[in-house]
A and B are shown apart, each in its own frame.
Chain A
Amino acid sequence: MKLCRGFVRLALGLMMLFALPAMAQATELEGVEADRYQGMINQLRCLVCQNQTIADSNAPLAQDLRDQVRTQIQSGRSDAEIIDYVTARYGDFVLYRPPFKRSTWLLWGGPFALLLGALAIAVSLMRRGRQRPVSAAVDPDRLRKLLDEESR
């Protein structure tokens, strides 16, 4: 038991040791700057592993970009300037929220166009359903005949 507890303590100690660099990095920026850093790295795409942000990715390129974002924030550059820096090199594709422009109108407008189309189809179907004459006129004689046959 004592040996086991020793192992746990050792393992915990090792884990904390490995966590140190990450903690050291996180404390480099403070307050607003740290928030900006987090916001920034969570909206930039890692181009090596495309469905991850540079915050999530362990790729060396993501590491480089995180370092760039950090040093640029530290040197007092604005968010817009940093975005410009990254898109000048890697294009709008690095942005998880690309700007609205000629090449991206379909991306932004597409879902709304689909929604409108679906609504239009739904409305026209509902109208048609209402317009179709429901044969309300039940022939009482025929109904009686059918019921009579049933009960016979």
Chain B
Amino acid sequence: MRVRYLAPIAVLIGLTVLFVFGLGHDPREVPSPLIGKPSPDFTLRVMGSDEPYQRSQLLGRPVLVNFFASWCAGCKVEHPLLMELSRRGVEIVGIDYKDTDAAARQWLDKHGNPYAKVIADVQGTAGLDWGVYGVPETFVLDAAGTIVYKQIGPMTEEAWITRIAPLMGAH
């Protein structure tokens, strides 16, 4: 067979490969430029109080930082898994994003509280600095406070087992 007849087939195969790659890629997941960088500084307060909470309090051990909100549908999806992880001793710090303390309190009372601490980010300023564009988003911080991984959208069992648990030295 001549090359002339093979060329369209080669092009078709090439396009198919591109198509398959495109299907597997979620355009809503924008890679964060913060991976491998120190987590952004912030000073907020603990939800329901005036007690300040700063970045330095996240240092010294691996920790999950989970941006959530009572108005967020995806947060309900991942909530049972977060509850399970907290039962297994994983430290999760929740940042309540663009929410009121009362609404968040009610939400946590209803669904359970997996968080070691809940921080209030009423204005969403920390969210902006952390590059959050849609809750839930979960950051994996190592003991030095470096962001080693970011889960966009609800946390999944698969993401936990294959990516996050090894990074945190957990099981």
10 pairs, A vs B, C-beta closer than 8 Å: A47-B133, A47-B134, A48-B133, A60-B98, A60-B124, A64-B124, A64-B128, A89-B130, A90-B32, A91-B32
Return the contact of A61 from the options B32, B33, B130, B133 (Cβ within 8 A). Answer: B133
| Contact residues in B for A93 (Cβ distance below 8 Å) | 30-31
| Interchain pairs with CB closer than 8 A, number | 38
Q: Is the CB of B129 within 8 A of A47?
A: no
Cα of A61 to Cα of B124 in the assembled complex, Å: 9
- Known pairs A47-B133, A91-B31, A91-B131. 8 more at Cβ < 8 A? A47-B134, A60-B124, A88-B34, A89-B33, A90-B32, A90-B133, A91-B30, A91-B33
B88 at interface by CB-CB < 8 Å: no
Closest 9 CB pairs of A and B: A47-B133, A89-B131, A91-B33, A93-B30, A90-B131, A61-B133, A64-B128, A48-B133, A48-B134
A74 at interface by CB-CB < 8 Å: no
Q: How far is the CB of B9 from chain A (nearest CB, A)?
A: 16
Return the contact of A50 from the options B27, B31, B32 (Cβ within 8 A). Answer: B27
List residues of B whose CB falls within 8 A of some A CB: 27-28, 30-34, 98, 124, 128-131, 133-134
